[in-house]
Structure 1
């Protein structure tokens, strides 16, 4: 496995993990009557906590990436055939 392939695999895993954790702990503006933002979409999250979710996605994708690289380097799957 070359470094470019490893980076691409990590980026793919990161986006999969980020999109998986994105809906966690979401509270819509319509659930908070005292939000104080006039004209905001009621379905928009009141506090998206993006930074927290990005760190969680980074940790999850790191573990998934290590497992993927270990499987590829072990030779269990031969992608050259």
Structure 2
């Protein structure tokens, strides 16, 4: 596998991980007891820390990419392992 392919896969895992991590650890003004600013959405977080999300997404993406590349190298799970459709019947010699 080329390094550019690994980088592209890492980037995809990173973006996916970042979006998955967004809602974790956030608290709204109602949950923390703080006053809501006029015009603020009730669901707006009061403790948003993008640095933590970047760090978490980086670690998770690195682990997922390493697992993906290892699976590519060693073939632990292949297409044949996840193919759940029945095979079509063999044609008879007619």
| TM-score in terms of structure 1 length | 0.78
Q: Which has the larger radius of gyration?
A: 2
Shift of 1:3: 1.5
Mapping 1:18-57, distance limit 5 Å: 18-35=18-35, 37-57=37-57
**Residue deviations 1:8-53, cap 9 Å, x none?**
1101111121112111111113334434644322211111111111
Question: Over aligned residue pairs, what C-alpha RMSD do you find?
Answer: 2.2
Structure 1 residue matching 2:43: 3-state secondary structure: coil
Q: Which structure 2 residue ranges, 5 or more long, are not aligned?
A: 80-94
- The size of the alignment, in residue pairs, is 79
Distance 1:67 1:46 in 2: 35
Shift of 1:71: 0.8
| TM-score in terms of structure 2 length | 0.69
Going from structure 1 to structure 2, the CA distance change for 1:39 and 1:3 (only over 3 Å counts) comes to: same
Instruction: Kindly indicate whether structure 1 or structure 2 has the higher relative contact order, using CA contacts under 8 Å at least 6 residues apart.
Output: 1
